[in-house]
Structure formats: C-alpha cells, structure tokens
Amino acid sequence: MEYRRLGSTGLKISRLGLGCGNFGGIGSAPEFFGMGESEEQACELMDRAFDAGINFFDTANAYGGGRSETWIGRWLKSKGPAVRRQLLLSSKVFNPVGPGPNDRGLSRRHVLQQVDESLTRLQTDRLDMYLIHEPDPETPLDETLAALDDLVRMGKVLYVGASNIEAWRLARGLWISDTRGLARFEWVQNSYSLLDRAPERELFPLCADQGVGFTAFSPLAGGWLTGKYRSADAYPPGSRMTLRPEPYQHLANDAVFRGLTALSDEARGRGVEMSALALAWVLHHPRVDAAIIGPRNTAHLDAALAGPGIELSQADRTRLASFFSALSLSSS
C-alpha cells in the first residue's frame, strides 16, 4: 500500500480509506438502520483492509444510528492497542442523531456533545481525523470552528476537515481560522469520480493554493463505475439504485451507459476490474490524497486494492474522462 501526506499536515494516510457507512445501515438514513453489513461482515472487511495496509477507517456518528462506530470500537478492542496505534480513525458530525432540535447541526453544543458520544462508541480517547459532515447554514462558521479548535486543544481531535463543502465556504473558513488563530480545515472530503468532476472547477485550485488535502468519497459513483448497472431497466436487487436512487438518478441515460460500456471495454483490455480502473483515474489526479471505498464484501475490497497500482498517463486520464464528456462538461 502506498501512503501520502494529507495536505500540508505531517499525517501519512493510505491511498485508500475504508468507508464504514454501510456498517449496520446505509449511511445516516434512519429508514435503513439495521440494514447494510452485519457486524460479522464489518469485522471481516476491517480485518482484510487493515491486513492490506489501509490505515484509516472513515465513519460518522450517524452511520447506522451509531452502529458503525460501535462495531469499529468493538473490533478495535478485540485487536488490542497495537492495532489502535497504527490505525487512524476518521469520524464526522452534523446529521440528526435524535428527534430534538439540538440533536443535529454544527452548534458548539452539538459538536462538543457528539465528539464524546463518538469516542465512547469507538472506545478510544481521540479521533485522529474529524470532519463536519456538511455545512450548517443555521450556525455561524465562527462558532463551529471555535468548537473544533477547542477539541484539538483538548486532545480529543488531532486534525479537522470538512465534507460536502463548497469552495467559497472553505475559503471563508480558512480565513476565519487564519485571522482568529483557530484550527483550520486541513482537508476536504467531497464526491469525486469519472461521473462527478465538480471539484475540478473551483475546489481543487483552492486546495492547491492553500495546501489543503483532498480525500474523495464515492469514487465509484455509488456503484455505477463497477459495471453493476447496464441499463435503467435492470438494477440489481438490494443495490443503491433500488434503495436510495435520488443522488444518482441523473446518471440513468444512454450517454452514461455508453460511457460505462467503453470503460468496461478499456478495463477488459488492460486485464483489470472496471472498478479498479475507475479508482486509478481518481487517484492519479495530483490533488487527490486518497479515495474512500465502501466495499460490501471482501471480493469488492480486493478488486479496489488493485486500483492504486494501475499506471495511467495524463493522456490516459483524458481519454477515460472523454467516455463521459457530455456529463463531465456539465458537472466540472
């Protein structure tokens, strides 16, 4: 496994991170709590990922209604302190964790409360990496950054980042941190893939200018870049398109399906899995420090592990992107 420095920090992260959003649920949606991977399946994935050299696991307080963090904590306890010393834990805060008006968001109260809840479930004294899961327009950014700074000063959190954030809001957050001497967002975790190139327009130039790292979530576009979807009429039972299709409904068109066929042919010609080639494309962008993968089983994980080893030239990247040129031009 290859490792890369996260942005301007001294932290070294593996090029692939294990996304744990399907442990005990499907993301943060309450209607899917109890679904996704079982605890036994989650432990099998964590064993395989750690053995392969993946050194950071990415979760969130709301994933599976807390099951994701709880299962990671139990797994860590069973492995002992040597594994904890090697593993970087990344969690998030924002999404609802209860029915009350203060059980969500990025207020000082919620952030300080939820970090302790996460630490308890994970059975650890610190979070190596902590992200706002998405911006909270109802809470001043100054308030959130001050709370995060306190967590860093208390030693409960080591590095702070932002997920699902726009370039303008990131720039404002960096300015607030610089002028007030607060801990700053050291990296961004946003969607990036052959089917979602939006970060290329504003976010990547800002990250390059400010020394901010980038980790890509959904590098396989919710399974679309694995070869799982061949037409709009044949979504596999239990797939994301049968459970939570809304974020990807716009991809169900002939142009995308033609691009997927071309990508599949390219992967076959190279003797690699389609998912591995799509991951390689993401990882070969100079702004991407790592990609977060969410395999449903060890076979999916093994296929993804081949991605960092695939060599691509800039011409190769351009050609692969051209398979989805109509979509890319509208989203990048």
Integer CA distances (angstroms), 288 to 55, 190, 203, in order = 16, 10, 11
Residues 54, 18: Cα–Cα separation, whole Å:
7
300 with 22: CB under 8 angstroms? no
Annotated catalytic residues are 63
Structure tokens, 85: 């010393």
Residues 221, 184: Cα–Cα separation, whole Å:
28
120 with 141: CB under 8 angstroms? no
State the number of CA atoms in the 13 A half-sphere of 201 facing the CB.
11
CA angle (171, 327, 273) in 5-degree steps: 100
Integer CA distances (angstroms), 332 to 32, 200, 283, 319, 327, in order = 31, 6, 17, 16, 9
Chain centroid offset of residue 169 CA: 19
Residues 311, 305: Cα–Cα separation, whole Å:
14
* In the block, residue with structure tokens 């190769």: 316
How would you class 315 by CB atoms within 10 Å of its CB: exposed for 0-12, middle for 13-18, buried for 19 or more? exposed
Residues 239, 13: Cα–Cα separation, whole Å:
29
Q: Locate the DSSP E strands across the chain.
A: 3-5, 12-14, 16-19, 56-58, 88-93, 127-132, 157-163, 185-191, 213-217, 290-293
- Cβ neighbours of residue 36 under 8 Å, at least 6 residues apart? 21, 22, 23, 24, 25, 26, 64
